[in-house]
Structure 1
Amino acid sequence: MSSIQSWHINWELNELILNLMNQTKIQSNIKNTTTYNINNSSNTSNTKIDYQSISKFNEFTGRVIIRPIDVSVRMIAEFLGGYTFLNLRSPEKNQYLAEDIFYKLTTGISQPSI
């Protein structure tokens, strides 16, 4: 979720388009080996690091298009918006509930008039 920069819903094609920001990750292969000594009761654990296999790469760049099969794209958009709204809130209990932001994130429209 941290790599999502923005999203767009194409209602005509029933698809959700996620725009992902560039994020650098480090990939490493660490091999753990454990050596047991029969004569000695102490077991030793050795960690071998393969420095040649450590590499940096850019993986999260571009767009991801989601075309749901069994559910409506609206359901996925509402879930994504609700999750984003909850992440914007602080753990403070007396925080003001911004209903207009909630409606914009979950439904894509401003708060309905009552």
Structure 2
Amino acid sequence: MHEMWLKCENEDQYAEWVAACRLGSRGRSLADSAFTTEAAAVKTLLALQKPQPAAALNQHSLPHLDHLQPENYLAPRFLKKLKGKFTQRVLESHANVKDLPLLEAKLQYIKTWQNLPDYGQTLFVVRFMGHRKDEIISIANNRIMRLDPNTGDHIKTWRFSTMKAWNVNWEIKHMMVQFEEGNIIFSVQSADCKVVHEFIGGYIFLSMRSKDANQTLDEELFHKLTGGWT
């Protein structure tokens, strides 16, 4: 796995690069109609992170934020070092959204949350067969990722589109997932291995459903994919 650092000349260029990478990760090209929308979403997120020049940055000028106490949000080991910066940053962020209607503010919150790098990922502590140390895997709606336990960096990605089968050896509680490029076998340390099986089966089931709101739920297929007898 190779890591590349890109330095962009301006926010527009940065937004286009991020949008292109996101589309590429989904198997889409720059000609995709979603490219413009994706780039616009990145610009919106950048705007929220930028302090407003005329923002009211005095907590006393915002009485409804008097209840804001950094110790309720920061771990004790960070409190002394970041207390002042944290309060200031919250006030700056608040200035970017304080004039939005309630519904728009909620939608903006959801969009920002969805743009977080780890959005939609569920982490499990596992031990791969033949290894002695615990490792981390992340399961998303279309892939399984192997993460560096110390940094959280992605070491390896296996996509569901290349998956042939997945099953559980109930006697020794091992999970095996077969991909076109090879198989991975691991035991789950932080949950029952059936939970991982259900996550994979559930995402596969969702990917097979259409956008038709009137589509009948195939309960038999759902239980087959999540029940451990695929």
Shorter-chain TM-score above 0.5? yes
- Deviations 1:37-93 (Å, cap 9, x if unpaired)? xxxxxxxxxxxxxxxxxxxxxxxx111012111111011011111111000101111
Question: How many percent identity over aligned positions?
Answer: 36
Q: Greater Rg, structure 1 or structure 2? A: 1
Q: How many residues align?
A: 70
Q: Which has the higher helix share?
A: 2
In the other structure, the counterpart of 1:8 is 167
What is the alpha-carbon root mean square deviation over aligned residues?
1.1
SS of equivalent to 1:12: coil
Equivalences for 1:86-105 in 2 at 5 Å? 86-105=206-225
Q: Is the 8 A contact 2:199 2:226 kept in 1?
A: yes
CA contact (8 A) 2:177 2:183 kept: yes
Name the aligned partner's letter for residue 164 of structure 2.
Answer: Q
Counterpart residue number, 2:226: 106
Q: Which residue of 2 aligns with 1:80?
A: 200
Q: Secondary structure of 1:67's partner?
A: strand
Gaps of 5+ in 1: 22-60, 110-114
Higher percent of residues as strand: 1
Moved over 6 A (4+): none
- Tell me which amino acid in the other structure corresponds to 2:191: V
